[in-house]
Amino acid sequence: MEETLRILVVDDDEVDRMKVRRALTQAGVCMELSEVGDGNDALSALRNSTYDCVFLDYRLPDQDGLTLIQKLRSSEIKVPLVVLTSQGDEQIAVELMKAGATDYLSKSRVCSETLAQVLRHAIRVHRAEMQTALVNQQLRETNEQLIRKNQELESQRQQIQLQNFKLLEASRLKSQFLATMSHELRTPMNAIIGFSQILLRPKFGQLTHQQTDMVERILNNGKHLLMLLNEVLDFSKLEGGRLELKPELFDLTKVINIAVAEMRSLAEAKKLSLLVQTDLQNPLVFNDSVRVRQILVNLLSNAIKFTESGRIWVEVKEISKNRIAIAVRDTGIGIAPRDFKHIFEAFRQVDQSITRKYPGTGLGLAIIDSLVRMMGGKIILESQLGVGSMFKIEIPRQLSLPTANDNGSTFHMDGHEIVCSAQNPHQSPFHFSKVSMGFPNLKL
Ligand code: ADP
C-alpha cells in the first residue's frame, strides 16, 4: 500500500496553493495536504505536527523563505523543504540550498510530473540525510565509547605496571632474603660438618660406638642441609643473574667418574646398579667443571631418589665434533608427559603435597635448566610412568666467550692440540665475564 504523505504548502497566494494541490493530486500522490498563508503559521504548524515535505513560497508577506528556513533549522525542525521561486528569484537559490533547503523549483515549472518528481527526490534526499546523520551520531557515540574504553585500559595498564613493579620488588627482596639466609646458614653448617669430621678422626680420640653413630648422623644431615642451602643460594644467584660460569679445560671422563663415584654409595644403599658408559674420542672439554659435575650429581641423585629397583646408567657420547651428550637413565617411577614442562620450574614437583614420599626443594631441575642454557646447551627428557626416565643434556664441547678477538693460538694438553678461534654466538652479557679477559675462545 502506498504511504500517505503529509504535505504542507506555505504560500499567501491562494491560486498558487491551488496549482500545487492540483498538480500533486493529478500526479496521484496519496497525501494529507495542509495549507498556510504566512511564515509564522508555517512555523507553528511545523512545531505542532510532522510533515513529509513542505512546499514553501519564497516571498511570504511576513518574511522571506530564507529567514523562515533559518528559523526552522535553529528550532531543530527537520523536514524536506522545497522552495518555490518566482521569476527573478533564481539567484537566491544557492543561498537557500546552503541554508538548508532540500530543493527549489520555479513556480513557472509547477506541473504534476515535475512536482511529483521534486517531491520524491526531496523525500529521498531528506531520508538519506537523516540516515547519514543517524550513522554519524552512532559513530560519534562509538568513538566516545572507544575513547572511554581506551582510558579505562590505559588506567588498567598503569595499575598492572605498578603491580608489576611491586611484584618485581617483592621478588627481588625474596631472592635477596634467600641469598642472605642461605649464605648466613652456610657458615655454621660448615662448622658443624668440619667439627663432626674432626670428631670422627681416630687420632682425635676414641669414641664409643654409639657416639660414632651419632656424630656420623650429624655429619650426614649437615651435608644434606649444606646441599639444600647451596641449591637455594645457586638458585637466587641464577635468578638475579649473578651466577657466572668459570670455564676451564678439563677431562670430562674424569669429572663424570668422580661424580658417579660420589653417588655410588647412595645407589648401593637402594640396591640399584649404577653403570657408566663413556664413548669419547676426545675427553677434553672447555667448560665449568664444577657446574658440569653439579648437573650430573643432581640428575643422578634424582634418578636414585625416584628409582626403587633396577638400574641407573650414564651414557656420554660425542654427537658432533663440538657437541657432547650426557644422558642419565633410570628404571624409576617415570614422569607423565603433562608434567614434563612444570618440573623444570623452580619449586615445582610432581607431588606438591607436604606428605610426599620423596624429599627435595624442587630447585634441582630449575638450576640444571638455567646452567645448561647458560652453557648454550639443551635438555631432552624422555619418560614413561612406571617404566623410567632419561634426562639428556647436550652441551657444546667448548663454551663460547663474549670477547673473541683472538686470532688462533694453539694449546697442548695431554697430547691433544687445542686451537683457539674467534667465534661467539648467542650469549647473555653476564656469562663468563670473569674468564673473558684471560682465556681465549677455544676450539677443541
Ligand atoms: P626435587 O628433586 O628436589 O624435588 P627437582 O627440580 O630435581 O626437585 O625435580 C623436580 C621434580 O621432577 C621432582 O620432584 C620429581 O617429581 C620429578 N623428577 C625429577 N627427576 C625425576 C626422575 N628421574 N624420575 C621421576 N621423577 C623425577
pLDDT score at 355: 63
Residue of 307, 343, 390, 392 with the most ligand 1 atoms within 8 Å of its CB, for mutation: 343
Confidence band of 349 (pLDDT split at 50, 70, 90): confident
Nearest to 253 by CA among 277, 288, 287, 275: 277
State the distance from the centre of ligand 1 to the C-alpha of 362, rounded, in angstroms. Answer: 7
Q: What is the number of residues in the chain?
A: 444
| Residue carrying the nine cell digits 670422627 | 200
Q: For residue 212, what is its C-alpha cell?
A: 660414632
State the distance from the centre of ligand 1 to the C-alpha of 277, rounded, in angstroms. Answer: 23
3-state secondary structure string, 109-136? HCCHHHHHHHHHHHHHHHHHHHHHHHHH
pLDDT score at 420: 31
State the distance from the centre of ligand 1 to the C-alpha of 267, rounded, in angstroms. Answer: 16
Nearest to 422 by CA among 438, 412, 437, 409: 409
Higher-pLDDT residue of 181 and 25 is 25
- Across the range 363-390, mean pLDDT stands at 94
State the distance from the centre of ligand 1 to the C-alpha of 274, rounded, in angstroms. Answer: 18
Tell me what the pLDDT averaged over the chain comes to.
86
Share of the chain above pLDDT 70, in %: 89
CA 91 to chain centroid: 66
- Across the range 336-356, mean pLDDT stands at 80
pLDDT at 160 over 50: yes
Higher-pLDDT residue of 27 and 410 is 27
Q: How far apart are CA 21 and CA 7, in angstroms?
A: 10
Which residues surround ligand 1 with Cβ inside 6 Å? Answer: 302-303, 306, 330, 332-333, 335, 343, 349-350, 360-366, 389
- Across the range 237-242, mean pLDDT stands at 83
pLDDT score at 434: 27
DSSP codes, 142-179: HHHHHHHHHHHHHHHHHHHHHHHHHHHHHHHHHHHHHH
pLDDT score at 21: 95
- Report pLDDT digits (tens) over 31-46: 999 999 999 999 999 9
Q: For residue 222, what is its C-alpha cell?
A: 649437615
Contacts of 283 (CB under 8 A, 6+ apart): 251, 252, 253, 254
- Report pLDDT digits (tens) over 392-443: 999 999 988 655 444 433 333 343 333 333 333 323 322 332 222 222 333 3
Residue of 235, 299, 349 with the most ligand 1 atoms within 8 Å of its CB, for mutation: 349
Bridge partners of 103? 82
* Contact in structure between 253 and 283 (CB atoms under 8 Å): yes
- Across the range 164-179, mean pLDDT stands at 88
Residue bearing the CA closest to ligand 1, atom 23: 303
pLDDT at 387 over 70: yes
Residue of 302, 335, 356, 379 with the most ligand 1 atoms within 8 Å of its CB, for mutation: 302
- Across the range 66-90, mean pLDDT stands at 88
